[in-house]
Structure 1
Amino acid sequence: MAAPAPAQRVREVVEPATASVGLLLEDVEVVRAGARSVVRVVVDLPEDADGELDLDRVADATRAVSDALDANDVVPGHYTLEVSSPGVSRALTQRRHFVRAVGRSVTLRLADGGTLAGRLTDVERDGDAGAVLVVVPVTPGLKGRPPKVGEPVRLALDAVRDGHVEVDLSGLGTADDDDDAGADAGREG
């Protein structure tokens, strides 16, 4: 039984393939699953790209990565290829991760052990620190009260251990709103 290909060798082969379709290679993992290997490739949009990473772009990356792996024969035997985006649960650690998260609610773990939760409003370039994150702190309201919004906080990226995008449901209406809209649509005028 052949050992799975080292992830570094697979990375060397698939990185140009993902770049050829305008995407960045975020991560590569090669694991054994029974008699097969599973090659997991995570791709992302470049920092300056507009929009979101859609299924068509992931399909393009899948074809390019598959062709590159087949041409270079770096994974011995049969393998399963999984190509995906990082998803909302990925840790924000690099400047480009934060740039792609502007406008979203985030929770940051700070290098000094503290945390900061709020809306990431900007990522500014800074020659010394590389980047400065601008976060508007938001403290949830208690017992039905509105959240408390603070003054923007500027943090050097190197003062942040990592961050996570928080699921933000604040823009969704109540179930009653949806029921009323459906009821109105069914009424004749």
Structure 2
Amino acid sequence: MNEHALASLVEPILATAGLELDRMEIVRAGKRSVLRFYLDGDGPQGQGPSLDEIAEATRAISVALDDSPAVGNAPYTLEVSSRGVSRPLTEAKHFRRNTGRLVTLTVADGSLSGRILGADDEAVALDVDGTVRSVALADITHAVVTAELRKDVPGDDDADEEE
């Protein structure tokens, strides 16, 4: 299977849905291949695609693959998901889509952790222990979201309230 042909087939479908192809993997699994498409996008609240958007995209990709010569007659399994929280943040849009989340950045003089307040094409604003710090995207060598187990997630209407 040709990765370029598959990407060319899928990207217009995703663009119509307001999504982006973050990456794609083709893995041989015996006589079949596993096609993994990882999607990204702003989503309904600007923080990545929703499960409904991923499900709709999966259906559209499946139909397109079935109707396309890009996969030929080779058997395959389709897997579609979001880009994942463990993926490094590498572009301004990744930081913007993770506003409010705790991140750990590696920069030339070490690392720092803080909550993303916002981002533009040049820098990311972090709350580092109550102090706002601006870090140029060009200075960041590695950035990942830090998983948090919290009871009081801002904006989570289902969070338990203290009585």
Do structure 1's residue 84 and structure 2's residue 81 form an aligned pair? yes
Of the three residues 129, 140, 155, the one matched with 2:135 is 155
Of the three residues 24, 29, 32, the one matched with 2:28 is 32
Of the three residues 146, 150, 155, the one matched with 1:166 is 146
Which amino acid in the other structure matches residue 26 of structure 2? Answer: V
Instruction: Provide the aligned C-alpha RMSD in A.
Output: 2.3
Which amino acid in the other structure matches residue 153 of structure 1? Answer: R
Match of 2:103 in 1: 106
Do structure 1's residue 134 and structure 2's residue 140 form an aligned pair? no
Instruction: After TM superposition, give the deviation of residue 159 of structure 1 in Å.
Output: 0.8
The answer for unaligned runs of 5 or more in structure 2 is 153-159
Q: Label 1:49 to 1:13 Cα distance change in 2 as closer, same or farther (>3 A).
A: farther
Match of 1:96 in 2: 93
Q: Which has the larger radius of gyration?
A: 1
TM-score, scaled relative to structure 2 = 0.84
Give the Cα separation in 2 of the matches to 1:120 and 1:100. 10
Is the contact made by 1:13 and 1:68 (CA closer than 8 Å) also made in structure 2? yes
Give the Cα separation in 1 of the matches to 2:34 and 2:3. 11
Match of 2:63 in 1: 67
Of the three residues 5, 8, 12, the one matched with 1:9 is 5
Which amino acid in the other structure matches residue 106 of structure 2? Answer: R
Give the Cα separation in 2 of the matches to 1:108 and 1:22. 28
Give the Cα separation in 1 of the matches to 2:23 and 2:89. 14
Give the Cα separation in 2 of the matches to 1:115 and 1:109. 4
Match of 2:38 in 1: 42
Work out the number of aligned pairs and report it. Answer: 154
Q: Percent identity of the aligned residues? A: 39
Q: Label 1:26 to 1:88 Cα distance change in 2 as closer, same or farther (>3 A).
A: same
The answer for unaligned runs of 5 or more in structure 1 is 125-129, 138-148, 173-177, 182-189
Instruction: After TM superposition, give the deviation of residue 17 of structure 1 in Å.
Output: 1.2
Give the Cα separation in 2 of the matches to 1:29 and 1:113. 34
Is the contact made by 2:40 and 2:48 (CA closer than 8 Å) also made in structure 1? no
